[in-house]
């Protein structure tokens, strides 16, 4: 069984990952800011789980998380940078504070995780880093998510460059990117600026549950690859976007997407 660290574990995808991975007998280290919710997730995981109150925007907290994981279980096999936050602002409405917040929560937090755990993986000669991004980092389908999408695009690039750096020297270390689409969680309600008024109520037809996404990530842990879309249809949409960006954005190749 693996030792798996999950950030953003108090709710949503992170909490469901903890439930499913715990049921499989993996040893978990769960990180989030909300202590009560985190304790509940740890108790319900069904396996050995260490909850760690952690602010992922603080490098010290991330380094402490790594130390607690190693002290608790002797090693880390998988590190999942799952914590993140959205915002509802179009490009022309963004403030400096808006952009700084998105980059700090969605990019710098993951960078801290990468820089904390990769040396441990290098010492062991193996390990698996997973960064949870978004389909919106590839295709601008929701313009009010502009800064969130930009931050996740930056995370995509950092992930790819780290993978390239490690391929030649440490082939036993896997670096993966996960790109969910619409997922039924409280993420939208917790976004800065609240829920956008332009988005209709109800569940979108292509929305996934946290169970769907968690199962995709668990399959990735068991069968590592560079990147996945948790909804396979999104891979085709992404290809169509880059094949003819102008036509896609004009709506000519965007029907049924």
Question: Per-residue pLDDT tens for 53-99?
Answer: 999 999 999 999 999 999 999 999 999 999 999 999 999 999 999 99
How far out from the chain centre does Cα 151 lie? 12
pTM of the model: 0.91
- Catalytic site residue from 112, 148, 241, 242: 148
CATH level 3 topology of 3-249? Rossmann fold (3.40.50)
The pLDDT of residue 29 is above 60: yes
Strand-pairing partners, residue 53, are 32
Each residue's pLDDT tens digit, 175-219: 999 999 988 865 555 565 655 544 444 445 578 999 999 999 999
Q: Is 241 a catalytic residue?
A: no
**The residue to which tokens 């715990």 are assigned:** 22
Distances (CA, A) of 37 to 33, 42, 63, 182: 9, 9, 22, 23
Sequence ranges of the domains in the chain: 3-249
Q: Give the model's pLDDT for residue 257.
A: 37
Answer whether residue 111 shows pLDDT above 80. Answer: yes
Percent of the chain beyond pLDDT 90?
Answer: 85
């Amino acid at each position: 069984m693996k030792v798996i660290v999950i950030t953003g574990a108090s709710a949503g995808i992170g909490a469901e990952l903890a439930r499913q991975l715990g049921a499989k007998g993996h040893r978990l280290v769960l990180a989030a800011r909300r202590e009560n919710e985190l304790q509940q997730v740890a108790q319900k995981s069904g396996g050995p789980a260490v909850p760690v109150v952690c602010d992922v925007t603080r490098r010290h907290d991330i380094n402490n998380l790594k130390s607690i994981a190693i002290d608790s279980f002797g090693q880390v096999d998988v590190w999942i940078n799952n914590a993140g936050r959205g915002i509802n602002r179009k490009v022309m409405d963004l403030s400096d504070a808006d952009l700084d917040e998105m980059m700090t929560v969605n990019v710098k937090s993951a960078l801290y995780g990468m820089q904390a755990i990769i040396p441990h993986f290098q010492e062991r000669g193996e390990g698996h880093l997973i960064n949870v991004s978004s389909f919106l980092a590839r295709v601008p389908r929701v313009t009010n998510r502009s800064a969130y999408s930009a931050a996740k695009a930056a995370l995509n690039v950092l992930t790819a460059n780290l993978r390239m750096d490690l391929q030649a020297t440490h082939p036993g270390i896997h670096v993966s990117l996960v790109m969910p689409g619409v997922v039924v969680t409280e993420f939208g309600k917790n976004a800065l600026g609240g829920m956008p008024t332009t988005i209709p109520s109800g569940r979108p037809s292509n929305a996934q549950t946290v169970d769907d996404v968690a199962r995709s990530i668990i399959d990735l842990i068991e069968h590592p690859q560079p990147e996945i879309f948790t909804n396979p249809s999104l891979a085709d949409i992404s290809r169509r976007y880059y094949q003819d960006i102008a036509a896609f954005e004009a709506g000519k190749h965007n029907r049924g997407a």
